[in-house]
Amino acid sequence: MLYCLDRFNRRLASSAMEAGYLFLVGPFAYTKLGKRANADTMDRITIFCFVASYTLALMLELLHSWRGLIAARIGALLSGLAGLVAHTLFLYSKQPPLIWQFSWLLFVAWVLVVAYLTGAIHYRRLTWGIFVLPLVLALVGLAVLFGQPPERGLWTTYETHTLWGPVHATLLLLASVGVCVGFLASIMYLFQAHRLRTKATPGTGLRMLSLEKLEEMNRRAIWAAFPLLSAGMIAGVVLLSRSEVVSWTDPRVLSTVVLWLLFAVVLFLRIASFLRARQVAMLTIVAFLLLLCSLVLSHNQPTGG
């Protein structure tokens, strides 16, 4: 067991160092000096590179929260930034279509990493990465489970060359990011509310935003996700009316409609003051789980010639 753990630690450190190397050489990969090594650099990028960097960043964030070491926070930010560079180069080199779960999850994880770095810099004294990075790693893990899409996948030659395909995918992707942010805000809200209810000692444990700010964060995420989801569904309706690939009874289409209805109910009840902040947080978590179910479902494959 110790031998396996030692091998894992060595591989983790090696991949983190490789991600750091990519962080340093990335800006030069497209210059004249880097043209020869450009293809080789892209080939060296794997998912494990940025997963190792994000894992190291999470470990350093935990160390910073436990011991309060400034060096651990700086190391976490640098490791997260190195992982983001490797993540970006991976997406740029592979350019996977958004119609597949693999691509969708990696793009959402990429946006969340940007949010993590931005939040960690803006709220330097708060525990932000401990909540964001596990979600990022979970999304990347789900992407790995789904596997990379084939070279000629669903919608490759049907809708993605038109305007409505990319618009539909982009809007739903942004809505998914909003749902994820709302999920994180809800988790932090419930965690903070539990600490206050149990009368935890002030100044100990994780440093977090106040309940009011977390509630506002969740509200803004919902308000941002709902119009994006609505616009994405409208684009999807136009796409379906012109498509012979996906039907109206497609499982992912139906699950997206259910997700939209849930958001509409949450917004209506919240505006009418029928729901408290805790109830909104619980429903936002349900919406996130429904989003995951929607991503797990695949579009029906077209039949016929």
Angle between helices 277-296 and 164-197 (to 10 degrees): 140
Q: What residue type is 155 in one-letter code?
A: W
- Band of residue 214 on the pLDDT scale cut at 50, 70, 90: very high
With 60 as the cut, is the pLDDT of residue 16 above it?
Answer: no
Q: DSSP assignment, residue 244?
A: S
With 70 as the cut, is the pLDDT of residue 4 above it?
Answer: no
Does residue 2 or residue 12 have the better pLDDT?
12
Express as a percent the part of the chain with pLDDT over 90.
Answer: 33
Contact 148, 94 (CB under 8 A): yes
Residue 205 Rama label (left phi>0; alpha psi -120 to 50; beta):
left
User: 43-52, pLDDT tens digit by residue?
Assistant: 567 888 899 9
**Residue whose tokens read 């935890």:** 200
Token pair listed for 124: 């330097």
The number of beta carbons lying within 10 Å of the beta carbon of residue 121 is 10
Q: Over the chain, what is the mean pLDDT?
A: 78
pLDDT value for 10: 52
170 burial via Cβ count (<10 Å: 0-12, 13-18, 19+): middle
200 three-state secondary structure: coil
Number of H helices, E strands in the chain: 10, 0
The number of beta carbons lying within 10 Å of the beta carbon of residue 293 is 14
Mean pLDDT of 207-223: 90
Cα–Cα distance, 249 to 261 (Å, whole number): 16
Contact 285, 195 (CB under 8 A): no
- Which range has the worst mean pLDDT, 60-69, 169-178, 269-278? 269-278
41: which residues sit within 8 A by CB, 6+ positions away? 22, 25, 26, 29, 34, 89
User: 149-199, pLDDT tens digit by residue?
Assistant: 765 544 444 444 467 778 888 898 999 999 999 999 999 999 988 888 887
